[in-house]
Amino acid sequence: MADFQRLALSERAPGVVQVTMSRPEVFNAFDEAMIAELDGAFAQLCEDDAVRVIVLAGAGRHFSAGADLQWMQRASVAPTDWNLEDARRFAAMLHRIDSCPKPTIARVHGAALGGGVGLACVCDVAIGAQEASFSISEAKFGILPAVIGPYLVNAVGRRHARRLALTAARIDAAEAQTIGLVHRVVPLAEIDTAVDACVAELLAGGPGAQREIKQLLGQLAVGPVGAEVRELTAQTISRVRGTSEAREGFAAFLAKRPANWILR
């Protein structure tokens, strides 16, 4: 794996890599360099056939305080063209994680602020510690959560997203779970047990099927199921039924044995 200055990559279990944001002195706030490293790390891991699941975590007391304020201060006096390219890189990094063909888990503890909430939103599963707190804090600095906005809306819906962004209110993990920002809340001492349990569930599924799930669900919007959507789903399942992975899955089930993708 490539060397990173702001990230630590480690094998959490066979087939499972943990990407840990490693700037605890600034609560894992990210700047241009960390954005580039996150993009590079996920690009590498998404292409590695040996990697089945990716866990995103933060070192120290907090998951991520969002944007580094020194980075934002530099942006406030930078030319418009610089700001546009900088924002495009941030948007590309979030898209990289969101569109990763491998299942992703956010391990959230401490504070998740601004873009840190965005990082949780782009992961497939978010598991939070009971003491975790969340805030879409950009309005306090006279800016807005533009780049993370679509992912926030996808996670919690438009009205909750508006409330969180307009008020910049800090909510606790219980409320975050209620509105869909995180999927499970556990005591901090049990968060790694909960992450490992989720990893085990993910490793039991076919990696090809999981890739297809992410691709298909990424194309579906909430609303009426019209002819185009019905055709897309029919074409998808008819194609996937004929794959070697599907044949192996059914054969393993009927033979009452583990499928060949289950790591032992």
Active site residues: 138
Nearest to 12 by CA among 88, 143, 107: 107
Q: Nearest 5°: CA angle at 187, between 184 and 192?
A: 75
Strand partners, 192: none
Whose tokens are 């950009």? That residue is 138
Distance of CA 3 to the CA centre of its chain: 22
DSSP H or E stretch at residue 172:
strand 170-172
- The alpha helices in 47-111, defined as continuous H runs, are 69-76, 80-98
Length of the chain: 264
- Whole-number Å distance between alpha carbons of 103 and 96: 13
Cβ atoms within 10 Å of 33's Cβ, excluding its own:
15
Residue 71 exposed, middle or buried by CB count within 10 Å (0-12, 13-18, 19+) = middle
Q: Which of 71, 73, 66, 72 is nearest to 27 (CA)?
A: 66
